[in-house]
Amino acid sequence: MLSKSYWGKTIAGVALALVLLSGCGEKDIAEIDWEREMRNFIDNDIDGQELFARDIYPDSSASFKLDESDDDYFYVIDNVTRTYGFNIDRNIDTILGFNDIIDAVVTIDDKYTGKVYRISGADTTQAYLLENRLQRYCYFLKLYGNGYQYHGWRFWGYSGLNYSIDGYFKGSEGDSIPATPYNIVQKPDAKLGSYFILKHDIARLGLGENLTFSSRFRERLFAEDAEEKMQAYNNLTPNGQRFEVSWQIPTASSRYYHLIVVDSDTASYNFRTRPLGGGAVESTMVKIGDYVIPYALDI
């Protein structure tokens, strides 16, 4: 347990540093260091690696429904490029019960490129090129001085972008997880406009539980099965006025955090075409609406 004197000295040190650094019109050395350390957490800390993993789409062995036809589809991801955006609010304030601190939001922007293949009977053909932009946000609090790990910044909240306003998950042990969590904090910055699940509110599930996703809409999920392999799940089974799909989450794992990807509805796709000559065209499916829901395993 940290003593009150320790907390007082730490917060005072942060406040003093802010005073000394105030008035700079451009990024100063401290802010550049802070950005580097926040990125270090996302890229190299085990929690950051699990929550912001790049490899979150299933391979070609997991097919799914994409339209009203009888055809199946699958993605092949060829490349992922990642960029970061930093928004550090240097106004000292009381935040989530901590006095005289500052906070920050890091935007993690992953661009996936690849192909969408169609399985029609015995034939498998390329249907589209694929461009998919997936955004996630990492929320930090500055709880310690610069001499501590990550220069005192601590991961405190997670956002997988646009959460469903309708869907929810039901665990076999009685857990109910709304796709938009109950316990959320919204950053007041209108430019961000995203909800953050506080880290201690991330749902914790038992090994091998059966998880059911229920929604008024037909949606597509990518999630790990009992053997930790990413699979595709379509909630096509009617249950009254809702659609449901169930699967078993990992029965064993060395990882604490796991991710569920909700694939954006077909209505939110854009298609870009390019003539190839001879009347042929090349079509690219452009997606921006996928979102990610994390959960933790009781390991």
pLDDT digits (tens, 9 = 90+) for 80-128: 999 999 999 898 988 888 999 999 999 999 999 999 999 999 999 999 9
> 266-285 in b/e burial notation, b at 16+ Cβ within 10 A?
eeeeeeeeeeeeeeeeeebb
Spatial neighbors of 191 by CB under 8 A, at least 6 apart, are 87
Question: What is residue 273's three-state secondary structure?
Answer: strand
Decide if 96 contacts 157 (C-beta within 8 A). no
Question: Which two tokens mark 118?
Answer: 């169609």
Q: Which residue has the tokens 């399985």?
A: 119
Q: Which residue has the tokens 């240097």?
A: 90
Single-letter code of the amino acid located at 205:
L
Q: Which domain holds residue 95?
A: 4-297
Identify the pLDDT of residue 178: 64
Number of domains in the chain: 1
pLDDT tens for 179-210 read 665 445 555 443 444 567 888 888 889 999 99
pTM above 0.85, yes or no: no
Question: What is residue 297's three-state secondary structure?
Answer: strand
Question: What is residue 147's three-state secondary structure?
Answer: coil
pLDDT tens for 216-265 read 877 788 999 999 999 999 877 777 778 888 999 999 999 999 999 988 76
**Residue 45 DSSP code:** S
**Residue 249 DSSP code:** P
How far, in whole angstroms, is CA 36 from its chain's centroid? 20
Kindly provide the residue ranges of all beta strands, DSSP E only, lying in 4-145, ordered along the sequence.
Answer: 72-95, 98-120, 123-142
